Amino acid sequence: MLDKTQMERLEAKAVNSAKTRQPLYAPRKKIFPKRASGSFRRFKWLVMAITLGIYYLMPWLRWDRGPFAPDQAVLIDLANRRFYVFFIEIWPQEFYYVAGLLMMAGIGLFLITSTVARAWCGYTCPQTVWVDLFLVVERAIEGDRNARMKLDAGRWTARKLVLRVSKHVIWLVIAAATGGAWILYFADAPTLIGDVFNGTAASVAYVTIAVLTATTYTFGGLMREQVCTYMCPWPRIQAAMLDENSLTVTYNDWRGEPRSRHAKKVQAAGQPVGDCVDCNACVAVCPMGIDIRDGQQLECITCALCLDACDGVMNKLGKERGLISYATLSDYNANMAVATAGGSGPVNPSLVRTADSTFSARLAHFHIRKIFRPRTFFYMGAWTAVGLALIYSLLTRDRLEINVLHDRNPQFVTLSDGSIRNGYTVKLLNMIPEPRTIVVTMQGLQGAEMSVVGSDLPAARFFAIAVEPDRLNMLKVFVRQPAGEVRHAAQTFKFRVEDRASFESDEYTATFNAPEIAR
């Protein structure tokens, strides 16, 4: 039987330990992460359920926009060049909203990283979420760490073949569902899914499903940590986002060193001993296969599963939790100064504890106010400013627009009665899913009249025309001005459009060209 200071040591070796650093591009070593339990693991389950639920279920949500618009809550309608998100409809010329959201995502990533390091990578990155999902399947079929290692090392038998085939088939089903869910964002989900299974969908749908199935299966099942280490640029960028007050998952060697698996024997011999019992539990649960006790590493995704594993060991030993914890570099350095007598010697556990074995009052502890510093305020301010600008623009944007393009050749035509005529292409944009009657009026240009090509509307200074819901109506309009009214070679006037039912309006300033001799 093991006493409380002699925990079972797991045979877990870091794939890239400080003592044996691997080349930058080393062949992949299989990692068999052990199932973890604890508050951070439960939080990861919650995040995984929410993110996967949003991804797979969002295309099926309905949103009533009336009879003239699709009722899918989130739809990227490439055929009609529309982007629907619940009550928001974005036209191609309003793509700056998407750009604004991307800016908010980037700034938000900077804010999160400068505050809690790679929390995005550890909890919400799609690679992390799908790897977690694939690991759930792997553990359910092949067992936990030891069982999977034994199965992998054993010879091929009928049982091993069945287990491996079952695992990969389920992985492929998940990957195919991932690709299938993605295409549902680009067309009506119930209709498209029926077409896919009937074999009548567009070829691009099948190609997209095939590509995403292959990438999801490969990245989530076969490459896993290689994606985070070699393919993702963020581990190499994140260091610029961190400072001494950023929270990172940290092994507190100021209380853990010197390590010993036989603490009582070491203490009886009069030697110092830290809280770390060198059980390797933190290495065994790490999905990246690293040893957090080697310090911050490029491979660490800050998932905090090592923290859960270590806390579980500390609970069994009756010691304070937090040997591995979220900590800032400033607090860590301050505590190391205490544990090493200002750096004059190695870590001495007696310096961080009092006579009754409680922690010294000189030790630094994290406080939430430490993360609120100029950098985080700057990121938060920039993120908020972009968000408020987008909201203001959404609330004040016009849903009726006019665009006018003057004919280039000829610039003007002199008619038989001496009057001057200019041609214009007028585009009326009805940006709501309801039909409208739009009144187009001329303002300025003394004595001039408009006529619409292909219409029986009489020449006048205004006309009313019906525009279909959520559509652009393109008109060819001639503007004629009597010769006696022409005053300049280039005169400006306005096209004004108005929906008298909703009181929305828009204007466009155009130019009327005439020959020099007519001035």
pLDDT digits (tens, 9 = 90+) for 444-479: 999 999 999 988 889 999 999 999 999 999 999 999
Residue with token string 């507190």: 252
Instruction: Tell me how far apart the alpha carbons of residues 366 and 350 are, in angstroms, rounded to a whole number.
Output: 22
pLDDT digits (tens, 9 = 90+) for 194-238: 999 999 999 999 999 999 999 999 999 999 988 988 888 888 888
Q: Is the pLDDT score of 518 beyond 70?
A: no
Collect all residues with Cβ–Cβ distance below 8 Å to 128 and sequence separation of at least 6.
Answer: 121, 122, 228, 301, 303
Q: Is the pLDDT score of 279 beyond 50?
A: yes
Query: Phi, psi (5° rounding) for residue 448?
Result: -85, 155
What tokens appear for 131 in the block? 């790897």
Contact 160, 153 (CB under 8 A): no
pLDDT digits (tens, 9 = 90+) for 405-416: 999 989 999 999
Count of residues for the chain?
A: 519
Tell me, what's the pLDDT at 282? 94
Convert 264-295 to b/e letters by CB count within 10 Å (16 or more is b).
eebeeeeeebbbbbebbbbbbbbbbbbbbbbe
Contact 473, 422 (CB under 8 A): no
- In which band, very low, low, confident or very high, does the pLDDT at 12 lie, cut at 50, 70 and 90? confident
Strand boundaries in 434-503, DSSP class E: 436-443, 449-452, 462-467, 471-481, 490-499
Q: What percent of the chain has pLDDT over 90?
A: 64
Collect all residues with Cβ–Cβ distance below 8 Å to 200 and sequence separation of at least 6.
Answer: none
Element (H, E) at 316: helix 305-317
Instruction: Tell me how far apart the alpha carbons of residues 355 and 335 are, in angstroms, rounded to a whole number.
Output: 18
Instruction: Tell me how far apart the alpha carbons of residues 132 and 51 are, in angstroms, rounded to a whole number.
Output: 12
Instruction: Tell me how far apart the alpha carbons of residues 268 and 193 are, in angstroms, rounded to a whole number.
Output: 70
Instruction: Tell me how far apart the alpha carbons of residues 185 and 201 are, in angstroms, rounded to a whole number.
Output: 14
Amino acid at 315: N
239: closest CA among 307, 327, 325, 329?
Answer: 329
What tokens appear for 507 in the block? 């204007």
Give 128-190 as a 3 state SS string: HHHHHHHHHHHHHHHCCHHHHHHHHHCCCCHHHHHHHHHHHHHHHHHHHHHHHHHHHHHCCHH
Instruction: Tell me how far apart the alpha carbons of residues 461 and 496 are, in angstroms, rounded to a whole number.
Output: 11
Angle at which helices 189-198 and 203-217 pack, to 10 degrees?
Answer: 90
Identify any residues that bridge with 249 across adjacent strands, giving them in sequence order.
Answer: 326
Q: Is 83 helix (H, G, I), strand (E, B) or coil?
A: strand
DSSP 339-396: HTTTTTSS--GGGSB-TTSPBPTTS----GGGG-SHHHHHHHHHHHHHHHHHHHHHHH
- In which band, very low, low, confident or very high, does the pLDDT at 519 lie, cut at 50, 70 and 90? very low
478: closest CA among 412, 408, 402?
Answer: 412
Q: Is 439 exposed, middle or buried (0-12, 13-18, 19+ CB in 10 A)?
A: middle
DSSP annotation of 203 reads H
Collect all residues with Cβ–Cβ distance below 8 Å to 40 and sequence separation of at least 6.
Answer: 303, 304, 305, 307, 308
Query: Phi, psi (5° rounding) for residue 214?
Result: -65, -45
- Sign for the pseudo-dihedral over CA of 283, 316, 8, 255: positive
Instruction: Tell me how far apart the alpha carbons of residues 390 and 100 are, in angstroms, rounded to a whole number.
Output: 7
pLDDT digits (tens, 9 = 90+) for 54-91: 999 999 999 998 888 899 999 999 888 889 999 999 99
Instruction: Tell me how far apart the alpha carbons of residues 143 and 213 are, in angstroms, rounded to a whole number.
Output: 25
pLDDT digits (tens, 9 = 90+) for 87-117: 999 998 888 999 999 999 999 999 999 999 8
Contact 251, 313 (CB under 8 A): no
CA angle 469, 472, 477 (to 5 degrees): 125
pLDDT digits (tens, 9 = 90+) for 429-448: 999 889 999 999 999 999 99
